[in-house]
């Protein structure tokens, strides 16, 4: 069977929600297409004087609820289709979290680890300049994503403000706190996932019981999940990065594993665990599986081997529709990305609000607001799931699409 690309996954997910929606077909047709996609070719001068042409994209999916919002990723496999799909998922995610945003996403096809810091800065400034007509506080507000970080956001916003000739701290989010960023942004995706998982475990009667988890992808999101999930009684026994994985049935010590990685090691060669493959991580004998890397890791080929009964999607699109059906048939519950990892964009919204008002919130305020918003979103989706006897992702799409279409109806179809 041919592999389903990310945008085809999105279309399939919309179709699976359709029987439970009371919306006109024309609005679904609109949601199945991005409003616009900008493709750019960036001439990057390398330190040796040669020039490399780098492709980049910024996709705008839908802005019925507000400005486009979504990260920018740097990755050698980024494509137009992937960026377009991610922008569509952002529309659903922002509506799921009740944010005043539509969906956008950006990507640059590059391996950032192969660039020097000066080359990375030149590329980042050139990309920000290339998409400047697509961005702005009330137009499109980019943020970090895979292999981008607060430093890259600093170059983005500095380029934007110098070209525009004004300060505009709310035109990018995910900035360093010293440049107008928000406290609580660094671990927001993982923390939001923890709040959502806590409410799910409460509903199914497992909160407070000893539970184990495996984390596939040990970057910023996966490592912060390891750190935070102990707060709700979850022991991480397996983790993996791009080099492989490690397993210890007694639990992996967060501080020791992070120290090992910072000293130049990988998760795979962590001395206090048994080396395992990435495939074995997905098939671990654990209660909770947390995909926290890239999309499409749970497929029709491996879903039947997954033993976890709860899958918390901290990555974007890690489960194909065919895999999700298999997991559901086997009694597993998938907590979808559009809810589970919406903590990052939610705190980005908080940063945007702070930037617009010139205010700074305490970390506790950010955490409390994030907890309140995502807990509310979870329970509304949970009720839809129970009412229709459908999967969590279907329920999330029913809720999100209903919100987007309501706004589209008020606006009308024009032009």
Task: Confirm whether 183 is domain-assigned.
Answer: no
Higher pLDDT, residue 92 or 5: 92
- Cβ atoms of residues 171 and 353 within 8 Å: no
Same domain for 70 and 102?
yes
- For residues 202 and 144, state if they share a domain: no
pLDDT higher for 296 or 311? 311
- Which residues fall within 8 angstroms of residue 117, CB to CB, at 6 or more apart? none
Please answer whether residues 295 and 6 qualify as being in contact, where contact means their C-beta atoms are separated by less than 8 angstroms.
Answer: yes
The rounded mean pLDDT for the chain is 96
Exposure string for 82-116, b = 16+ CB within 10 A, e = fewer: bbbbbbbbbbbbbbbbbbebbbbbbbbbbebeebe
Going by pLDDT thresholds of 50, 70 and 90, the confidence category of residue 133 is very high
d(CA 330, CA 333): 9
* 4 has pLDDT over 90: no
Domain count, the chain: 2
Q: Is residue 317 part of a domain?
A: yes
Q: What is the pLDDT of residue 335?
A: 98
Q: How far apart are CA 387 and CA 1, in angstroms?
A: 34
* 141 and 224 share one domain: no
Residue that terminates a domain, selected from 141, 173, 205: 173
pLDDT above 60: residue 1: no
| For residues 204-218, average pLDDT | 96
Question: What does the alpha-carbon distance between residue 399 and residue 92 come to, in Å, rounded to a whole number?
Answer: 9
Task: Give the per-residue pLDDT at 339.
Answer: 98
| Two structure tokens written together for 264 | 């130049």
If asked whether residues 193 and 156 sit together in one domain, one would say: no
In this prediction, residues 162-190 reach a mean pLDDT of 96
Task: Say if residue 111 is in the same domain as residue 140.
Answer: yes
405: in domain: no
Q: What is the mean pLDDT of residues 48-52?
A: 97
Q: Is the same domain home to 119 and 192?
A: no
pLDDT digits (tens, 9 = 90+) for 313-336: 999 889 999 999 999 999 999 999
Question: Would you place residue 2 in the very low, low, confident or very high pLDDT band (cuts 50, 70, 90)?
Answer: low
Q: 56 with 162, same domain?
A: yes
Give the end of a domain, one of 317, 340, 363.
340
pLDDT at 86: 93
CB atoms within 10 A of CB 283: 18
Under DSSP, the state recorded for 226 is H
Contact (CB, 8 A) for 180 and 161: no
End-to-end Cα, the chain, rounded Å: 40
Tokens of 172: 């990018």
Identify whether 208 is part of a domain: yes
Whether residue 41 sits in one domain with residue 153: yes
Asked, for residue 378, whether it belongs to a domain, the answer is no
Report, as an integer, the average pLDDT of 167-175: 97
CA-based nearest residue to 152, from 56, 48, 230: 56
The CATH number of the domain holding residue 141 is: 3.40.50.10860
Determine the distance from the C-alpha atom of residue 281 to the mean position of all C-alpha atoms in its chain, rounded to a whole number: 20
**Average of pLDDT values for 42-65?**
98
91 and 158 both lie in a single domain: yes
Residue 291: which CATH number? 3.40.50.720
- Cβ atoms of 409 and 354 within 8 Å: the answer is no
Note the pLDDT of residue 294.
79
Segment 33-51 mean pLDDT: 98
What would the mean pLDDT of 62-73 be, rounded to a whole number? 98
Per-residue pLDDT, averaged over 263-278, amounts to: 93
Looking at the structure, tell me whether residues 206 and 157 fall in a common domain.
no
Domain edge (last residue) among 173, 207, 237: 173
119: in domain = yes
* Integer Cα distance of 201 and 231 in angstroms: 13
Q: pLDDT of 369-397, one tens digit each?
A: 999 999 999 999 999 999 999 999 999 99
pLDDT of residue 295: 83
* 347 lies in some domain: no
Whether the per-residue pLDDT at 338 is higher than 60: the answer is: yes
Q: pLDDT band for position 278 (50/70/90)? A: confident
State the average pLDDT over residues 143-151. 94
* Arithmetic mean of pLDDT, 247-256: 96
pLDDT tens string 226-250: 999 999 999 999 999 888 999 999 9
At 315, is the secondary structure helix, strand, or coil? Answer: coil
Residue-wise over 341-354: b if at least 16 C-beta within 10 A, else e? bbbbbbbbbbbbeb
What is the span of the domain harbouring residue 80?
32-173
Domain assignment of residue 23, yes or no: no
pLDDT computed for residue 328 by the predictor: 96
pLDDT recorded at residue 5: 84
The answer to whether residues 78 and 124 belong to one domain is yes
Query: What is the share, in percent, of the chain residues with pLDDT greater than 90?
Result: 94
The residues annotated with a catalytic role in the active site are 105
User: Which residues are within 8 A (CB) of 342 and not within 5 positions of it... i.e. 6 or more apart?
Assistant: 93, 94, 96, 97, 192, 374, 377
Strands (E) located in 325-399: 333-335
Cβ–Cβ under 8 Å, residues 217 and 292: yes
pLDDT grade for 11, boundaries at 50, 70 and 90: very high
Residues 98 and 134 in one domain: yes
């Amino acid at each position: 069977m041919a592999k389903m690309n990310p945008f085809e996954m999105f279309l399939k997910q919309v179709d699976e929600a359709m029987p439970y929606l009371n919306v006109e077909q024309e609005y679904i047709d609109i949601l199945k297409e991005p409003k616009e996609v900008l493709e750019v070719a960036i001439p990057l001068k390398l330190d040796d004087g040669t020039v490399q042409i780098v492709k980049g994209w910024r996709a705008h999916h839908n802005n019925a609820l507000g400005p486009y919002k979504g990260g920018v990723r740097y990755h050698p496999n980024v494509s137009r289709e992937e960026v377009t799909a991610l922008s569509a998922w952002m529309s659903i995610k922002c509506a799921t979290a009740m944010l005043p945003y539509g969906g956008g996403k950006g990507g640059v096809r590059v391996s950032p680890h192969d660039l020097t810091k000066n080359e990375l800065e030149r590329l980042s400034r050139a990309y920000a300049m290339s998409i400047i007509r697509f961005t702005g506080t009330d137009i499109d507000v980019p943020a970090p994503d895979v292999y981008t970080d607060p430093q890259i956001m600093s170059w983005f916003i500095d380029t934007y403000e110098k070209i525009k000739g004004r300060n505009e701290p709310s035109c990018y989010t995910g900035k360093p706190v010293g440049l107008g960023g928000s406290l609580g942004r660094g671990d927001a995706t993982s923390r939001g996932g923890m709040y959502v998982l806590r409410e799910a475990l409460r509903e199914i009667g497992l909160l407070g019981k000893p539970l184990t988890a495996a984390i596939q992808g040990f970057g910023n999101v996966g490592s912060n999940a390891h750190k935070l999930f102990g707060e709700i009684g979850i022991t991480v026994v397996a983790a993996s990065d791009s080099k492989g994985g490690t397993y210890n049935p007694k639990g992996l010590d967060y501080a020791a594993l992070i120290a090992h990685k910072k000293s130049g090691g990988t998760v795979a060669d962590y001395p206090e665990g048994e080396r395992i493959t990435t495939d074995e991580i997905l098939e671990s004998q654990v209660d909770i599986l947390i995909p926290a890397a890239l999309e499409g890791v749970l497929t029709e080929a491996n879903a039947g081997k997954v033993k976890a009964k709860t899958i918390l999607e901290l990555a974007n699109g890690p489960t194909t529709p065919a895999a999700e059906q298999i997991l559901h048939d086997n009694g597993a519950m998938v907590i979808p990305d559009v809810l589970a990892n919406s903590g990052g964009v939610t705190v980005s919204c908080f940063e945007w609000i702070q930037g617009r008002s010139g205010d700074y919130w305490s970390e506790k305020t950010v955490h409390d607001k994030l907890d309140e918003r995502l807990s509310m979103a979870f329970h509304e989706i949970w009720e839809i799931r129970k009412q229709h006897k459908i999967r969590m992702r279907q329920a999330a799409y029913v809720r999100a699409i209903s919100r987007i279409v309501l706004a589209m109806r008020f606006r009308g179809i024009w032009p």
